Amino acid sequence: MNLFKSLKAFFSAPQPDSVATSAHNRFSAASDVFDAAFTAMEATTDDIDTYDGVIAGYTGIADFETYTDAYLDAHTSAIDNLTAAFDDLTATFTKCSRTDPLYKSAAAVYKATTALYVIATDAYFRAAHRVTTTALEGSLQAAKDDFEVMLLETKAANTSASDAPSANAKAAAFKDNAARGAAAAKRLEQKAAEALSKAEAFCAKASSAVAYAEKALAS
């Protein structure tokens, strides 16, 4: 964020026009809020780089830890906060007068900020896809577990009277665990679908903002 400090300092300097000064202060404050939200977002997206590095040396899905509900919730919260900050910054920028001597500088800050927002939304989009993969893997495992339950129940039904209690207990325990796993996979699949839809909307917003920023800077 050091790239923006000199421009922000200029915005914060005393100006003769009170209306312009108010607009500059609002824009500078909104930019600071975005900076803080982006820093928080970086802490979340660092997990993606770590994840990529960890799985690079593995060959099987079972060798590494998958994304969890907690990871997705944290990332979603971070991108929601960042988007709210970006929307506020956009709103303050759109109210800047094109005749303002600082308009070009504000446009430069806004354009650089949109580039950061693009990075953040892309990271969330990739994370949503990976969580979707994790959810689908869970659904596949649930199907396999259902098949295993049927095998265990069939075996219990055809075992001797003396072994039946143990076989039935084993089948029941496996079925209970399988049901919990299937429910968890279903919940994650729903969350992943919602995250992917949100990510697509955020990416579209970012793309539109880039075009708007480039037009503003060129005007």
pLDDT at 80: 95
Determine if the pTM surpasses 0.85: no
**Could you give the number of structural domains in the chain?**
1
| pLDDT tens column, 35-85 | 999 998 888 765 545 434 433 333 333 333 456 778 888 889 999 999 999
Least confident of 12-21, 122-131, 159-168, 175-184: 12-21
pLDDT at 4: 53
Average pLDDT over residues 24-40: 92
| pLDDT tens column, 154-209 | 999 999 988 889 999 999 999 999 898 888 888 888 988 999 999 999 999 999 99
Range of the domain at 182: 2-218
pLDDT at 11: 52
Neighbouring C-beta atoms of residue 193, cutoff 10 Å? 14
pLDDT at 188: 87
Least confident of 14-18, 72-76, 131-135: 14-18
